[in-house]
Amino acid sequence: MEERNMVRVERVVEEFQTLVEIDSPSFGEREMGDYLTKRLVELGLEVSEDEAGKVLGGNCGNIYGKLEGSLKGAPLLFCVHMDTVEPASGKKAVIGEDGVIQSAGDTVLGADDLSGVSAILEALQVIKEENLPHRPIEVLFTVAEEVYCRGAALVDYTRLKAKEAYVLDLTGPVGLAAYKAPTFLFFKIEVTGKAAHAGFAPEKGIHAIAAAAEGIGKVKLGRIDEDTTVNIGLIEGGLATNIVPEKCIVKGEIRSYSMEKSNIEMLNIEKIFRSAANSYGAEIEVSTERMASAYETPLEHPVVKRFEKACEENKLTSVLEETFGGSDNNHLSQHGITGIVIASAMNQCHSTKEFTTVEELEKIASLTLSLMILTD
């Protein structure tokens, strides 16, 4: 078992650079999808693509890869997303002498989530080259994760046999993993008043912005309790300075580890806005959308135990934590797949300061390989 470091670091970095140079914005993942399909086929996987792209108005679907196992054991799923946030076109991975990898400064790097992609490809490459015994492996490359996991919401589960998953999509040192994430509820409240000339006949108008403002002022924002946060992040309304505004649209989100609490909070917000609107003679229309559901993977579950063992083999400290962010794992968990989200060599994501390091890329590739070849 002392045959460590089968991962070839130059190759991981080179693969990562290649991936970064492929433009892959949400809904525009075609080139990335084609490249990854080609790579998976080269690595001996059976590959298919679903219709998610068509449904979402994108140009690429979720991609599924399957590799028969030479070890006994249930299949394991490795999931990453193919899309990157903007600014995302013309990305380049610049490697510093200190091993820090950044973009040229005008785009994101895309380590979120291409570091995870490069780790999976390297692990599969080593397995093939060294002819290593491994479990049945499934990979899932999703589209449109960065727009509230829309690709994952359309996964065709008939193509997946795995009941356990590792989602490589978390910030933090390799060895960190999230086992618990909240439910996300988005809401839109449309307040309708009545337009009138602001100078000639203000008393004929019903001020939608003022009614909405009263509602916003009365809703408790921020951290509601240890499980729940509420935010109103967008408002939009009015047409001109000389018109009493007829419409005001308020948008926000609720996050909670408890589905019930998120529902209660939503009802509460609706009640507050309705009463504020009524006091002005305005009306409201509320729409909500649950973008992801909460999950909590038990810490004694084999998927966690295996991760801890793989960390130990790689001399990494394993840390399991709660996260208040969402990922594709929120969706997998709703379909009978138990997983954790593991840190995959990405830092300061969603900014042009995003970076990874040569060392971390090697670590996540090596950890991924261990997860694929460990026997239970």
169 binds Zn ion (CB under 5 A): yes
67 or 343: whose CB is closer to Zn ion?
343
Point out which span in 39-47, 163-171, 267-275, 298-306 binds Zn ion (CB under 5 A).
163-171
Q: Find the shortest distance in angstroms from Cβ 278 to Zn ion.
A: 42
Q: Find the shortest distance in angstroms from Cβ 158 to Zn ion.
A: 25
Q: Find the shortest distance in angstroms from Cβ 187 to Zn ion.
A: 24
212 and 250 in contact (C-beta within 8 Å)?
yes
Where does 153-225 have alpha helices with state H? Answer: 208-218
Q: 183 by DSSP, 3-state: which?
A: strand
164 or 169: whose CB is closer to Zn ion?
169
167 or 216: whose CB is closer to Zn ion?
167
**Which of 29, 50, 83, 112 is flagged as catalytic?**
83
Q: Find the shortest distance in angstroms from Cβ 66 to Zn ion.
A: 23
155 and 228 in contact (C-beta within 8 Å)?
no
What are φ and ψ of residue 96, in 5° steps? -85, 165
Q: Which residue has the tokens 């308020």?
A: 250
Active site residue 260: no
How many whole angstroms separate alpha carbon 80 and alpha carbon 315?
A: 24
Helix (H) or strand (E) holding 185: strand 183-192
Q: Which residue has the tokens 């899309």?
A: 83
Q: Find the shortest distance in angstroms from Cβ 267 to Zn ion.
A: 32
- Burial class of residue 3 in the structure, from the number of CB atoms within 10 Å of its CB (0-12 exposed, 13-18 middle, 19+ buried): exposed
Angle at 152 between CA 304 and CA 363, to 5 degrees: 45
Q: 3-state DSSP: the chain helix, strand, coil percent, rounded to 5?
A: 35, 30, 40
332 or 373: whose CB is closer to Zn ion?
332
HSE of 281, CA atoms in CB hemisphere, 13 A: 9
User: The tokens of 94 are what?
Assistant: 């610049």
The contact pattern for Zn ion, residues 233-272, with x = CB under 5 A and - = no contact, is: ----------------------------------------
Q: Find the shortest distance in angstroms from Cβ 113 to Zn ion.
A: 4
190 binds Zn ion (CB under 5 A): no
Active site residue 23: no
Ramachandran area for residue 367 (φ above 0: left; ψ -120 to 50: alpha; else beta): alpha
Scan residues 99-118 and list those touching Zn ion (CB under 5 A). Answer: 112-113
Size of interface with Zn ion, in residues (CB under 5 A): 3
318 or 329: whose CB is closer to Zn ion?
329
* Residue spans of beta strands (DSSP E) within 109-162: 137-142
- Residue 259 to residues 61, 64, 255, 266, 327: CA-CA distances in angstroms? 29, 30, 9, 11, 17
45 or 345: whose CB is closer to Zn ion?
345
**Which of 122, 145, 214, 253 is flagged as catalytic?**
145
83 binds Zn ion (CB under 5 A): no
The catalytic residues are: 83, 145
Chain contacts with Zn ion (rule: CB under 5 A)? 112-113, 169
